[in-house]
Amino acid sequence: MTRTAPKGPAAYFPSIEKKYGRPVTEWKEIIRASPLRKHMELVGRLKDEYAMGHGHANALVAHTLAEDAAGADE
């Protein structure tokens, strides 16, 4: 069985975990615990408070918000 590489924001997850030393699940908890709700506000928080690069922060926020929106539809 051939495994396909993750696409979209999830493609960044291995490098995020390696560079910033936390599992993606922990980053998602940080995003969800924030009082902020707007995409770019959350990206800015990760950049300012955790010195995360824009691409990595954007990928985490996009994936987390999409997960939450999909869960709300159920």
* DSSP 8-state secondary structure symbol assigned to residue 3: P
In a domain, 42, yes or no: yes
In a domain, 64, yes or no: yes
pLDDT at 71: 85
DSSP letters for 39-65: HHHHHHHHHHHH---HHHHHHHHHHHH
Q: Which parts of the chain register pLDDT below 50?
A: none
In a domain, 61, yes or no: yes
Note down the domain range covering 22.
9-72
pLDDT at 7: 83
CA–CA separation, 6 and 64 (whole Å)? 15
Decide: 11 and 5 in contact? Cβ < 8 Å. Answer: yes
3-state class (DSSP) for residue 60: helix
Total domains present in the chain: 1
In a domain, 3, yes or no: no
In a domain, 47, yes or no: yes
User: What are the Cα distances from residue 55, in Å, to 12, 17, 23, 65, 72?
Assistant: 8, 14, 17, 15, 26
In a domain, 56, yes or no: yes
